[in-house]
Structure 1
């Protein structure tokens, strides 16, 4: 059987959660100095699940210091509030808002992944009462696996673009999480590419360990939300490193499957980054919160090159418009071929500061292709 690399060559086609209110704890310069190298042993995720039935959940002392809190609640996306405790005391209350995302086989459920470095307690309020919370520490667990090597390029068949690339094995995906009783929770499907959608994670900026953040996003999507995998096909950190997202097969080619469509373009693995509009929609997420600041130059440059690579392989016009139709559920929408999450649904993603830059991004991607 042809693998995807040889198939692509043969076809000739190849050469979050937005929060408002009082500030939660931020990373200090000492925390930044403790950044773990990407090729270090991968720590096991520390995870403690808490079921909430009343209006308020108070955890004055968590089992371990947190890096993240993953929450899923009943009710409206803007019906939750949070405050956290660190060694210096309690923060003010702030609203947390869910970002509209779910795979096409799942209905949308309000939830958020919150970066809470150094938090040792928290209180969560939801209007409806019921919630599932997972306390996470993505950096301090026992180290059981060795990270795969970081590559110098993102390769899709004979096409490549210059950017450090971390496969799932390099950033530390625990593949066992994708299975329940030995059965894959989110089976792979492939569809013709129609659109490229840009997101931000709405997490922390100046992240000292972006691989740990990717592992937390994976756990939140895969386990807390019960999707069975991460919803984005690719992620990019502030240094411009590219991370493989949604699993796409058993070889080294990200995003694409082995089959081709009627035009000879390779089919895209199904993601879960825009509720009800995922099939054929490739999601690329920049790590960070771009509500009040722009992405780093390195992240922006990698995003441009990655989108150009995807547009070339899929035969998409980066400055065009797409009449998108979801082949799974029939949902239709006319959007720019390179769009932001908010072009599809009511969300602030990919950030108030970054969103106006998308037109220039489209032009830069077109220039990269030319």
Structure 2
């Protein structure tokens, strides 16, 4: 098949064709037409017809224009007489990178019954006088290739012959492998691949027409557009799913079963995510002129795919994670729009985004994952709020697709917004309470002093957390004694830290809590410590319940011989102690007083050695005139010698060189005298100070005794 690039340049309705030389390659046909439009026409309306250079099954418009985006409509035809409906073109944020000057629009796919079209009409309304530098159309023909039905049969034959090398307890669902659908020479290119374990799974939509059911051709068209026109070298998504539920492997991966390749689909969230795109457009009626809802078969396949990956990577479906390149938390299952707070893109469309809570539940059910928490939503009957001015997160941003927010104040007289969640528990006891502040675009930061009140009907306690530092993540308020029946959690806009920043009212969750426990952090178990002043660190699961803390250090595991005890009337989590001598064996633990009981941490054993070792180059033997054997020895009374390095220099020089040749030395200049010194490091990490004078030099070298020469040569 011929591969042609045709560039059409003209003013308004005049077009001049410049045909570049064609070259033969087993590739689909691709061409670009560029129209130059008179900039800043105050009331511009263009309507023109273009005959494509070849019959196409997919077309992608793109443009260079200032904000706001121009109003562009496109339709296609087989004969230039009978036309498809008009498509109002929106910016396709999945396919436009932040650094791109050109904006990419939606992919228009020819209806299946026509297979290919030959004409397009475009209409541009520019009543706002937006400067439009260029308008381009990329034509693609990928009809020359197997259908989805043919590929499924081929894949089944391949799967029967090749068992996957994986031990996943939840199997990967049936997919159409890249080797089956990607029929071009570049499909097996593995250069430049980067891998990062998946922590989050992202739902996209391709924003292509829903009218064509030749999904295989659509996948190939997206691949060609991403590879060539966008210059990405490959399709951006990790997987794609069609309306019938067929799953297609996406971005090249050398081991789809066990490795997680980084795709090109969500900006800084590419690393650590599984980007899966629904083939079609799934915006809601209020978002877009074209709208649809993902069919059940499509969403079932997404659930199967996500269940496999969640089980493989131990992803908690009902939780959120701060991804490797992100500065905020994100739900572990989310839509593309959630990555940047809801306003950066419509993807995956409102109708698909509305299905995310059900998708989480379906994924969790498949792998037997049950949330230990009970949830109270701000949209349910368990939440009440003041009759004040409230804002709502845009485009379904929030844990269950919604969240309220207001602005903080430090002035009690200006405080008007409050919200209360009712926490109904079956029995009195200790419960952990967590709150959520979603990452949603408000053009503002969040409060560092969200002040919650927990009322169990007998006492009211207060917890202060930072929405700013924990935005997008579940935050624990700690453990609280709740009474059987209704308890309340209250949040207001009043803070002591800031004014005019976001305070979030989203879902909260709670669960029965275990008793308070203490975890020793450092020094770690069976470690050597080399500092005379030792830092002790520990954590509590519920520090708000701790009334007093005691640190004990002993020479025995039973703590019969306690050499140091420190006590505080607050829930401290770190302390320092300076020792006067080395200890081959010490134990430390923390006691947490909760007012009614004492929690003990598991004793941790460590050893203390803050005295450096000693060493010396004790002998130099001549093996041959230009080869010496260097003998060192050292001593350490506590942790023991870990290594001894030796250095050399020519006599009269000041700089020493560390040897890299082990026990032997070859003089750089055999006629010079060389001096040697050693430096030892012990198991605790103490390093001997550099010797001020040489230990020995080559003038003191002895001929190697014959009795020890043979073993040295063998070594």
TM (normalized to structure 1)? 0.71
Q: Which segment is superposed worse, 279-288 or 48-57?
A: 48-57
1:198 to 182, 196, 203: 203
Which 5+ residue runs of structure 2 have no aligned equivalent? 1-25, 39-45, 284-290, 369-715
Matched residue, 1:45: 28
* Preserved contact between residue 64 and residue 101 of structure 2 (Cα < 8 Å): no
Residues 103 and 278 in structure 1, CA contact (< 8 A), matched pair in contact too: no
CA deviations on 1:43-68 (whole Å, 9 max, x unpaired) are 95222222333357955311223211
Q: Deviations over 1:210-236 (max 9, x none)?
A: 111100111111111111111100111
Map 1:290-301 → 2, pairs under 5 A: 290-291=282-283, 292-301=291-300
2:133 alignment partner, one of 123, 129, 143: 129
* Partner Cα separation in structure 2 for residue 304 and residue 134 of structure 1: 34
Cα deviation for residue 157 of structure 1 reads: 2.0
- Cα distance, 1:150 vs structure 2: 1.2
Secondary structure of residue in 1 paired with 2:198: coil
Structure 1 pair 178/51, CA: closer, same or farther in 2 (3 Å)?
Answer: farther
SS at match of 2:347: coil
Q: Which residue of 1 aligns with 2:476?
A: none
Quick one: distance in 2 between partners of 1:142 and 1:293? 27
User: CA 1:174 to 1:255, structure 2 compared with 1: closer, same or farther past 3 Å?
Assistant: farther
Q: What is residue 182 of structure 2 aligned with on the other side?
A: 172
CA distance in 1, matches of 2:214, 2:244: 11
Deviation track 1:305-345 (CA, whole Å, cap 9, x = no partner) reads 1001111222211111112241xxxx423221100011124
Of 365, 373, 393, which residue of structure 2 is paired with 1:367? Answer: 365
In the alignment, structure 1 residue 282 sits paired with structure 2 residue 274: yes
Is 2:333 aligned against 1:338? yes
CA contact (8 A) 1:304 1:365 kept: yes
Structure 1, residues 159-187: CA drift from partner, whole Å, max 9, x if none? Answer: 364643111121124242797xxx95xx2
- Runs of 5+ unmatched residues, structure 1: 1-42, 258-267
CA distance in 2, matches of 1:98, 1:178: 30
Cα distance, 1:350 vs. partner? 1.4
* 1-structure distance, mates of 2:99, 2:177: 26
Q: Is 2:317 aligned against 1:324?
A: no
Query: What residue number does 1:157 align with?
Result: 166
The answer to whether the 8 A contact 1:304-1:361 is kept is: yes
Q: TM-score, normalised by structure 2?
A: 0.39
Contact 2:76/2:117 (CA < 8 Å) preserved in 1?
A: yes
SS at match of 2:193: coil
1:50, 1:276 → 2: CA distance? 32
Asked if the contact 2:59–2:109 (Cα under 8 Å) also holds between the matched residues in 1, the reply is: yes
1:36 corresponding residue in structure 2:
none
Residues 159-238 of structure 1: matches in 2 within 5 Å? 159=168, 161=171, 163-176=173-186, 184=191, 187-205=192-210, 207-238=212-243
Q: How does 1:246-257 map to 2 (within 5 A)?
A: 246-249=251-254, 253-254=255-256, 257=259
Separation in 1 of the partners of 2:231 and 2:184? 15
Distance of 1:229 and 1:80 partners within structure 2: 30
The residue correspondences of 1:98-137 to structure 2 (distance < 5 A) are 98-101=91-94, 107=100, 109-112=102-105, 113-117=107-111, 118-124=116-122, 125=124, 127-137=131-141
* Matched residue SS, 1:349: coil
Kindly indicate whether structure 1 or structure 2 has the higher relative contact order, using CA contacts under 8 Å at least 6 residues apart: 1
Cα pair distance change 1:77/1:221, threshold 3 Å? farther
TM alignment of 1:3-42, pairs within 5 A: none
Q: Is the 8 A contact 2:50 2:119 kept in 1?
A: yes
The equivalent of 1:68 in structure 2 is: 58
Partner of 1:306: 305
Aligned residue among 244, 252, 268 for 2:249: 244
Query: Displacement of 1:109 after TM fit?
Result: 4.6
Query: Alpha carbons of 1:142 and 1:133: their partners in 2 closer, same or farther (altered >3 Å)?
Result: farther
Cα distance in 2 between the residues matched to 1:199 and 1:339 = 9
Per the alignment, residue 97 of structure 1 pairs with 90
Q: 1:60 to 1:50 in 2, by over 3 A?
A: closer
Q: Please give the root-mean-square deviation of Cα atoms over the aligned residues, in Å.
A: 3.4
The higher radius of gyration belongs to 2
Greater helix proportion: 1
Give the secondary-structure state (helix, strand or coil) at the position aligned to 1:64. strand
Structure 1 pair 161–141 and aligned structure 2 pair: CA distance change class (3 A): closer
Change (3 A) 1:209 1:77: farther
**Cα offset for 1:83?**
2.1
Provide Cα deviations, 1:70-123, integer angstroms capped at 9, x if missing partner. Answer: 233323584361322413445675431122236989658521322234432224
Counterpart-to-counterpart distance in 1, 2:34 and 2:299:
39
SS of the aligned residue for 1:288 comes to coil
Tell me how far apart the structure 1 counterparts of residues 233 and 108 of structure 2 sit (CA, whole Å). Answer: 20
Residues 163 and 241, structure 1, Cα contact 8 Å, conserved in 2: no
Deviations 1:190-229 (A, max 9, x none): 1232211011222233642111110011111111111111
